[in-house]
Amino acid sequence: MSSALPAPHRRLSRLIRAAAAIAAAATLAACSHDEPRWHLTDVTGHLPDLSFTLTGGDGRP
């Protein structure tokens, strides 16, 4: 039984396929984690009413 590719090319092809499989597995593993849950706090009414005005370069609001 003979192969069309010489031994070094078969070895390189096998290495490339193994690297591609590892990269695909790492990519899929990175995508499978759940997003962390947000812990929110309602801060409505905790800050004083702020008022400010912007002035232009000529000193007018």
pLDDT at 60: 85
Residue 49 pLDDT: 80
Tokens of 19: 């690297």
Dump pLDDT digits (tens) for 17-34: 999 999 999 988 877 667
Beta carbons within 8 Å of 54's beta carbon, 6+ residues apart? 61
Q: What is the pLDDT of residues 1-60, one digit of tens each?
A: 555 666 777 888 899 999 999 999 998 887 766 777 888 888 888 878 888 888 888 988
Find out whether 61 and 54 touch, Cβ atoms under 8 Å.
yes
